[in-house]
Amino acid sequence: MTMDAGNNQSVQRAAAVLAALSHGRSMRASEVARHIGLGQSTTSRLLSTLESLELVERDQESTLYRLGLALLPLAGAALNENPVHRSARQPAQELAGKLGLGANVAIRRGDELFYLCNFEGKDAPKFFTLMGQRNPLHATALGKCLLLDFSPASRRSLLPFLKRFTPNTAKTHEELDLMIDELSLRGYSTEREELAFGRTCLAAPIRDANGAVVAALSISGGLSAMDLPMREVEISRIAIETADSISTALGYTVPLGSEIPIS
């Protein structure tokens, strides 16, 4: 039992080191130690072991640590086993190329959304990938879609506090309720500078064979590139059609006679 506990603790500490390095910037061993709350000697030993396994890399000049390339085949295998990713990757990639905007697919993990796919169009370039990153549910179009099956009471239980990121973020649960009611009527949700200034997004839910919302697809970009005041009907139709095609691949049957809502 003692050996099992020690092994479990080592695994947990190694996972904490990898998580600390997953925020998009390289770190010194001392920074990693502060981040995970361990001593520097313990953290240095963990980093050395992970480096020998190529799970982390150390820059020889700066001595900063970053995640290692040995993680890529693990991440690729995990994605390839995910049915939503398998069904959504190609349609989302084609969507980004067609519109020149960003195309993203996310699922829910607890009280956050988790990006499975992230493709860039020519008018929505990024110097980083969103894949594997997380964002709040209440301040994103994707997140609102992922909350669609929740009752108002269960949403409040999941998200007891709504953090404000900009003045446009939903301030109260009543405001969020109205946004999700509108999504239910229209078939899509929008996000207009609710998470970050200068960015906007439109998303549609993805359903599984049982009709449950298991993911969401979004089209995103800067305010001028998206131009929602002029293009909302066009982009919403494309988003809903693409999300429905992914849902169909997951076994969902779109009800006969249903029509794509138009604002």
Q: Residue 168 class from Cβ within 10 Å (0-12 exposed, 13-18 middle, 19+ buried)?
A: middle
Look up the CATH number of the domain holding residue 47.
1.10.10.10
Please, what's the b/e burial string for 22-39 (b: 16 or more CB within 10 A of its CB; e: otherwise)?
eeeebbebebbbebbebe
Decide which of 18, 50, 71 is a domain's last residue.
71
232-255 average pLDDT score: 93
DSSP assignment of 90-135: HHHHHHHHHHSSEEEEEEEETTEEEEEEEE--TTS--SS--TT-EE
* pLDDT tier at 3, thresholds 50, 70, 90: very low
Cα–Cα dist 159/191, whole Å: 18
Q: How many domains does the chain contain in total?
A: 2
pLDDT number for residue 263: 44
Looking at the structure, do residues 155 and 197 belong to the same domain, yes or no?
yes
Q: Residue 11 class from Cβ within 10 Å (0-12 exposed, 13-18 middle, 19+ buried)?
A: exposed
Looking at the structure, do residues 26 and 151 belong to the same domain, yes or no?
no
Looking at the structure, do residues 135 and 24 belong to the same domain, yes or no?
no
Looking at the structure, do residues 22 and 109 belong to the same domain, yes or no?
no
Q: Residue 224 class from Cβ within 10 Å (0-12 exposed, 13-18 middle, 19+ buried)?
A: exposed
Does residue 60 lie in a domain region?
yes
DSSP three-state, residue 151: coil
User: What pTM was computed for the model?
Assistant: 0.82
Looking at the structure, do residues 199 and 105 belong to the same domain, yes or no?
yes
Q: Is the pLDDT of residue 262 over 50?
A: no
Looking at the structure, do residues 29 and 118 belong to the same domain, yes or no?
no
Looking at the structure, do residues 20 and 116 belong to the same domain, yes or no?
no
User: Using one digit for the tens of pLDDT, what is the confidence trace for 45-99?
Assistant: 999 999 999 999 999 889 999 989 998 888 888 888 899 999 999 999 999 999 9
Instruction: Give residue 131's domain range.
Output: 82-249
Decide which of 71, 101, 119 is a domain's last residue.
71
| E-only strand ranges, 148-258 | 189-192, 199-207, 213-222
Give the tokens for residue 123: 């008018």
